Structure 1
Amino acid sequence: MAGLREAGLVGAALALAGGLVFVLWSFIQTKKAQPGRGKLPDPDRQRAAAERRGAPALPEPQEAGTQVLVLGLEGAGKTSLLHCFATGSLEQDVSPTQGFNAISINKEELHIEFLEIGGVEKLRDYWQMYLKKARVLVFVVDSADPAHFPLAKTHLHRLLAADPYLPLVLLANKQDVAGARGVADLYEALSLGTVGDARKLCVLGTQVQKGRAETNVGVQDARELIIEMMNNSHA
C-alpha cells in the first residue's frame, strides 16, 4: 500500500466500495534495534489462575512472534472480521467466540496465524499471556457502542503497557451502524496519542455485512495492512 512507510501521524482518506475509510497511521521507516519487551506475567501461573476462575481451556501459545493476536470486548465483531480476512466475505451468521478462534492466511511465502481470544470477562485473563507470542496486535472496538469505550481503553492500555513495541492495528468496527463514531473519535476516546513513538500504529474503520462483500468497507485494507506489517517485522 502506497505511503505506508511515511513516518509520523497522518490522516488519509481512501475511496473504497462506495464509502470513505479514514486511516490514522504511524509507521517508523527506519528500523531500530528494539530493547527487550516489557516483562509479562508468567504464562503458566496466569493460565492456572484463569482456569480456577472457570475460563475455558485455550491452546498453548505458539512460538514467539508467529501470530496476529486479535482481541477486543465481546460483541465488537472480531469473529466476523476474521471470516472476511479468510474468505473475503461473510456468508452466514457467526456465534460469539466462547474460547478461541484461529485462522491461517498464506500470502506468497508468508504464513500468518490469526488467533482470536473471546472478549467476555473470564477470557480477558488470558490476553496478556499471549502477547509475547504475537507479532501484531489487532484490537477491535464496536464504534457504535461508546458506553464501552472506557472499558476498552482500560484493557487496551494494559496490553500496550506490557509491551511498548508491539505493533497495533485498532479496528473501529461497525461503521455502518447508526451512531458509529469515526476513527478520529476513537483515537481520542482511547487516548492513542499516549502510546509512544516507538510503536507502529494504525486506526482503521471497518464494517461487515453478511452476503455483501462489496459493502464490507475497510476489511480488505485492514487485511493487507496486517500482512504488510507482518512482512516488515519478518524481514
Structure 2
Amino acid sequence: MLEQVYRAGLLGVAVALVGGIIYVAWERLFAERRPTLGAEDEESMKQVLVVGLNGAGKTSVLHSLSTNTVKRSDGPTMMFNSVCIKTEEAEIEFLEVGGNKSLRKCWPSYLPGSHALVYVVDAADHNRLPLAKKELHQLVRGHPTLPVVVLANKQDIKGACTISEIHEQLSLAKLGDKRKLFLIGTHVAEDGSQVPASMQDAKELIAQLVIY
C-alpha cells in the first residue's frame, strides 16, 4: 500500500495560501478514508487526465511518474500518451493529451471518465501563463468536485515563477471550494537520473486521490 503520510516540507508545495484550497496537512488529508472497496472495484481502472499547454513538460513528467527515472521529451505530443501504473489497490492509467491548440479542444471529452486532473504548467513561460489560466478554468468548469493537481514545472530554470506566483497567476482560489486542489513545484533533471523527491511524492498523492 502506498504511504499515506507525506512530508510537510515537500519542495514547492504551496503553504495554505488560501484557506481550504491548498492542502498540505498530509497526515490529516486522508484520515477519513472511504469504506474498503469490493474486489470488482479494486480491479477497475482509475484514469488520471494529464494536460497542459504544449511545451509544459507533460511527457517528461509522465515518464518520471511511471518509471522513477528522468527522460526529457524530444518534442511535443502530437496526439496522446498513455501509461499504466499498478498499485496494490488499483491500476491507474495516466492519459496525456497534447497541448497544441487543436488538441486542447479535445480535453473536456476526457474529464467525465477521469478520477483526477493533473495540469502541468511551464513556470518559466511567463508570457503564456494567462493562456494556461484560461484553459484550466474553462476545462474544470462544470466539474466542481474533480480533484486537481497543478504541477508548476521547470522550477529549476532561472526566473521561473515561484509557487505563490503560480497560485496568483492561475487564480487557483477561483476554482471553487468543493474540490481537493493541490499545487506542487516540479522539475526533471538529466536523462537517466532519479526523479526529485517532489515528483515521487506527487505520484503518491495522485494515487491516493484516485484510490480513496
Same fold? TM cut 0.5: yes
Range class of TM-score, shorter chain: 0.7 to 0.9
**C-alpha distance in 1 between matches for 2:170 and 2:209:** 22
Q: How does 1:1-235 map to 2 (within 5 A)?
A: 1-2=4-5, 12-14=8-10, 20-24=11-15, 25-26=22-23, 66-91=46-71, 93-211=73-191, 213-214=193-194, 216-232=196-212
Measured against aligned partners, the alpha-carbon deviations of 1:110-144 in whole angstroms (never above 9, x if no partner) come to 10001000000010110111110110000000000
1:184, distance to aligned residue in structure 2 (A): 1.1
The structure that has the greater radius of gyration is: 1
Measured against aligned partners, the alpha-carbon deviations of 1:5-43 in whole angstroms (never above 9, x if no partner) come to xxxxxxx532xxxxx3334533697689xxxxxxxxxxx
1:212, distance to aligned residue in structure 2 (A): 5.3
How well do the aligned residues superpose, as a CA RMSD in angstroms?
2.4
1:3, distance to aligned residue in structure 2 (A): 6.4
Contact 1:206 1:217 in 2 (8 A): no
- Taking CA–CA contacts closer than 8 Å with sequence separation of 6 or more, which of the two structures ends up with the larger relative contact order? 2
Measured against aligned partners, the alpha-carbon deviations of 1:133-169 in whole angstroms (never above 9, x if no partner) come to 1100000000001111100010100012121111000
Letter aligned with residue 162 of structure 1: G
Moved more, 64-73 or 153-162: 64-73
**Count of paired positions:** 189
Q: By percentage of residues, which structure has more strand?
A: 1
- Percent identity, aligned pairs only, is 43
Unaligned runs of 5+ in 1: 5-11, 15-19, 33-63
Moved more, 184-193 or 215-224: 215-224
**C-alpha distance in 2 between matches for 1:105 and 1:175:** 25
Structure 1 length-normalised TM: 0.73
Distance 1:116 1:177, change over 3 A: same
1:214, distance to aligned residue in structure 2 (A): 4.2
Letter aligned with residue 150 of structure 2: L
**C-alpha distance in 1 between matches for 2:181 and 2:54:** 23
Measured against aligned partners, the alpha-carbon deviations of 1:184-216 in whole angstroms (never above 9, x if no partner) come to 111111111111111000000000123353463
Letter aligned with residue 137 of structure 1: L
Structure 2 length-normalised TM: 0.81
1:174, distance to aligned residue in structure 2 (A): 0.3
Contact 2:69 2:195 in 1 (8 A): no
Contact 1:23 1:203 in 2 (8 A): yes
Measured against aligned partners, the alpha-carbon deviations of 1:71-129 in whole angstroms (never above 9, x if no partner) come to 10000000000001111112464432100000000011310001000000010110111
Contact 2:14 2:184 in 1 (8 A): yes
